[in-house]
Amino acid sequence: MDENHLLAEGFEAHRGHLRAVAYRMLGSLSEADDAVQEAWLRLSRSDTGAVENLGGWLTTVVGRVCLDMLRSRTARREEPLGVRIPDPVVSGESGPGPEDQALLADSVGLALLVVLETLAPAERLAFVLHDLFGVPFDEIAPIVDRTPAAARQLASRARRRVRGAAPAPDPDLTLQREVVDAFLAAARGGDMEGLIALLDPDVVLRADYGGAPAAPAPREVRGAAAVANQALTFSRLSGSGLLTRPALVNGAVGVVSSREGRPFSVLAFTVVDGRIVAIDILADPERLDGLDLTDLN
């Protein structure tokens, strides 16, 4: 077996891990695949004779590639107006397939990814590599051109933001589904009190409509009464032609809706202690058309 074949085998053994790193860094499935491919190109052009830990070496390479992509995205101001919902990983209620299971290891909920979108690129990298993948700060420091102590501070700042805004959901999917189904039933029935009872007082609803300058509804709503009112408004406006199907969105209970055979929205719910603390909605038609929803059929 020649050296190139061995190198390719070594890379493939780490591909799933590298894609998971890139997805958390970029919030985009296609960009994550691009970052992993770029890591392979850099590996194939490098002298790896002195590399003792190929997985660690590749992780830092992917981190550096993703950091460059985030900085380029920021410089070009590619972010849509207001809220950006990262690409969701949608599956049937039986669970994601093997490839997506690796992508979603460590319960990377959509709410967490939404918060990561608000971090500065260097903060995001330090948090993702250290807190989610255990990369030491002395390996992170050269990527962000800082000392290990400064890299630690970047991760600490990011951690405070994440803890306050992305709580871990209840692990019981059956309980999650009961709460979400009750919420949907209350919305369809016009039950304002029932909706409020299912919502955390500080619940946040975030919606990504893409680059449309005039959104059909607010992109961010906070508080139980305001979110309940928005749910009732959406239920009235959507009418009877909307088909909803239960789904798992990044491993948590969610809903996919469609109209006339085309995806209309993906809703991800974060349920904590029996109440909904976050609802994240992707309603950008262009991005919805690019989702793989075959597992729901």
Q: Quick one: tokens of 281?
A: 């909605």
| Cα torsion through 174, 175, 178, 179, rounded to 10 | -140
**CATH code of the domain made up of 3-85+111-165:** 1.20.140.160
Of 53, 38, 115, 52, the residue nearest 84 (C-alpha) = 115
> Residues spanned by CATH 1.20.140.160 within the chain?
3-85+111-165
> Residues spanned by CATH 3.10.450.50 within the chain?
173-296
Burial of 178 (0-12, 13-18, 19+ CB in 10 A): middle
Q: Quick one: tokens of 269?
A: 């719910």
pLDDT tens-digit profile, the chain (297 residues):
566 777 788 889 999 999 999 999 999 999 999 999 999 999 888 777 777 788 899 999 999 999 999 999 877 665 545 678 999 999 887 766 666 666 776 657 888 898 999 899 999 999 999 999 999 999 999 999 999 999 999 999 999 988 877 778 888 999 999 999 999 999 999 999 999 999 999 999 999 988 766 566 678 999 999 999 999 988 887 766 788 899 999 989 999 998 888 888 999 999 999 999 999 999 998 899 888 777 675
Give, for 277, the enclosing helix (H) or strand (E): strand 275-282
Q: CB of 173 within 8 A of CB of 181?
A: no
CATH number among 2.40.30.10, 3.40.630.30, 3.40.50.150, 3.10.450.50, domain 173-296: 3.10.450.50
Rounded to 5 degrees, φ, ψ at 231 are -65, -40
The amino acid sitting at 200 is D
Beta-carbon contacts of residue 49 (< 8 Å; ≥ 6 apart)? none
